[in-house]
Amino acid sequence: MKKMYVAVVLTWVLTATSAFGQPAAESAVVTDNATRLMRPIDKAQDKADADAKKARKEAIMKEAEILHAKGELKARVSEMEADKRDQDKLLESLNNRYHANDKEIERLQKRLEEQEGAMNEVSGSVRGIAQDTATVLRRSIVSGAVPGRDKQIEPLLSETEFPSLANIMKMTELMFDEIERNGKISITKQKYVDASGRETEGEVIRIGAFNALYRNDNKIGYLEYAGAKQAFHELTVAPPTAMTKEAKKFVKNDSQGLFLDLSGGSAFRQLTDMPGWYDQLKSGGALMYPLVAVGLLALILMTERLQVLVKEGKTTEALADKVTSSLQNKNWNEALRLCREKKGSLAQVIEAGIGHRHERAEVLESVLQEAIQSTLPRLERSMSALQILGMVAPLLGLLGTVTGMIATFQMITLYGTGDPKIMSGGISEALITTQYGLIVAIPIILIHGYFQGRIDRIIGMLEEKGIMLVNAVKKDSGASEAL
């Protein structure tokens, strides 16, 4: 195509040249030259055509390859789009599952928290009960015979483990065993520490959860339980004699009674630690001896007055019941006989009145009043002394308080207040003397009032029967005058 186009162009050029007046010969020459020029051009054209053909062929092949690749890519794209749609569906499904699982996790988390709270509450309750049970077992005197029971509960006290049912059942069994043992009296042969600190083996008699006794070579006494060591030891200070005697009778089955310490040993320790009366006398100072003397003297006087007034009261009441009818019936001889049989103040008064019944009423009343007054010294003897002793005792106690406080302040002046033991002597003297002063004075005052009341009742009865005698005599005199 290009070759023909070039030839036409050249022919046109040559023709145009000849048309513009070039000679014919020159035209032929030009044509010939043109022909020679066209040969390389033809060759070039042929080569170009061949190259173009080859290029078109290659382009066609490339185009076919591209089209094939494009088809494969389209197929791959379609496949990938299909995969994408599948993946989108899968992603959506997974998202749905994710949200569902998230909600399920949240629900399970709440349930777990609730269960953990309930478990912690149960664990805390069980652990608290286990601690209380371990304390009870350690303090129980049953552990003196069966030591180490509290160790079986230690797994329940662990804060890192949840209490197992087996351990809870074990604790329950121990609690029921403790209840059962506390309701029994048991005798076991085991070791205990005696008063000298040596370990001794003998019979230990446990009375429920209260006390324990020991019997070793006919020696019987009380034991104290030491919860820290879970062992028994003898009381270092012997309890009162009455308690020891009762314990011996109980062990020998001679008595069903026994002194029990419901406080787990605290009461017995206080009894053994309490100072005796002699120790208190010494701690009260010198004024305790006058106080004791006042108390003993008052006791002697009160005993004597009690005997006199009780006897006088019984005699007066017995005679009053019998002589009343005789006086009312003016049976003077019978009244005199009764008065001579029943000695006493009333008999003395009535006998004096009957002896002066013929005197005027004024004289008779004076005689009776004199007779009543004569009985008063015997009735009121030592009453003033009791009253004085009742007043002196608290004053002695107050004096002891003053002297004790003076001694305390002297110790403070010399040694300061750093050591309380230095001041304890003066304070003890001040308090104990006051205490014993009141202990002595209060019974004296009360008994003095009681005695005074009995004396007043006896005197009242004497006056009553004296008035009855005067009235009877007046009636008798009036009747005689009328006759």
Model confidence pLDDT, tens digit, residues 278-332 = 666 676 677 788 888 998 999 999 999 888 888 888 877 777 777 777 776 677 7
Comparing CA positions, the residue from 122, 127, 124 lying closest to residue 153 is 127
Comparing CA positions, the residue from 210, 195, 198 lying closest to residue 144 is 210
Does 298 share its domain with 262? Answer: no
Question: What pLDDT does 32 receive?
Answer: 63
Does 248 share its domain with 340? Answer: no
Does 202 share its domain with 345? Answer: no
Total domains, the chain: 3
Question: What pLDDT does 418 receive?
Answer: 62
Question: What pLDDT does 336 receive?
Answer: 75
Side-chain-facing half-sphere of 125: CA atoms under 13 Å: 6
Side-chain-facing half-sphere of 412: CA atoms under 13 Å: 12
For 140-164, where are the alpha helices, taking DSSP H only? Answer: 142-145, 154-157
Does 228 share its domain with 312? Answer: no
Q: Which residue has the tokens 């120790």?
A: 279
In a domain, 468, yes or no: yes
Q: pLDDT by residue for the chain (483 residues), tens digit each?
A: 544 444 545 555 555 544 444 444 555 555 566 566 667 777 777 788 888 888 888 888 888 888 888 888 888 888 888 888 889 888 998 999 999 998 999 999 888 888 878 778 888 888 888 888 888 888 787 877 778 787 888 888 777 777 888 888 888 888 888 888 878 888 888 888 877 778 888 888 887 777 777 888 778 877 777 777 778 777 776 676 777 777 777 777 777 777 777 666 666 666 665 666 666 667 667 778 888 899 899 999 999 988 888 888 887 777 777 777 777 667 777 777 777 777 777 777 777 777 776 777 777 777 778 777 877 788 888 888 888 998 998 888 888 888 877 777 777 777 666 666 656 656 666 778 888 888 899 999 999 999 888 888 888 887 877 777 777 766 655 544 444
CA 99, 101, 102, 104 torsion-angle sign: positive
Helix or strand or coil: residue 367? helix
Does 297 share its domain with 397? Answer: yes
Q: Which of 222, 243, 273 is the last residue of a domain?
A: 273
**Which residues fall within 8 angstroms of residue 480, CB to CB, at 6 or more apart?**
none
Comparing CA positions, the residue from 206, 470, 430, 433 lying closest to residue 349 is 470
Does 246 share its domain with 295? Answer: no
Q: Which of 116, 148, 173 is the last residue of a domain?
A: 116
Q: Give me the domain span that covers residue 44.
A: 2-116
CA distances from 400 to 104, 108, 286, 410, 440 (A): 85, 80, 9, 15, 14
Q: What is the DSSP letter of 164?
A: P
Question: What pLDDT does 479 receive?
Answer: 47
In a domain, 55, yes or no: yes
Structure tokens at 121: 């509450």
Q: Is the pTM of this model over 0.75?
A: no
In a domain, 240, yes or no: yes
Q: 202: which strand partners?
A: 190
In a domain, 371, yes or no: yes
Does 327 share its domain with 424? Answer: yes
Question: What pLDDT does 273 receive?
Answer: 59
Q: Which residue has the tokens 């186009």?
A: 5
Q: Which of 116, 141, 159 is the last residue of a domain?
A: 116
Tell me whether residue 287 is exposed, middle or buried, using C-beta atoms within 10 angstroms of its C-beta: 0 to 12, 13 to 18, 19 or more.
buried
Does 12 share its domain with 80? Answer: yes
Does 268 share its domain with 320? Answer: no
CA distances from 367 to 6, 21, 339, 462, 475 (A): 202, 220, 17, 13, 18
Amino acid at 5: Y
In a domain, 162, yes or no: no
Does 243 share its domain with 367? Answer: no
Does 337 share its domain with 383? Answer: yes
In angstroms, the CA 393 to CA 448 distance is 14
CB 410 within 8 A of CB 423: no
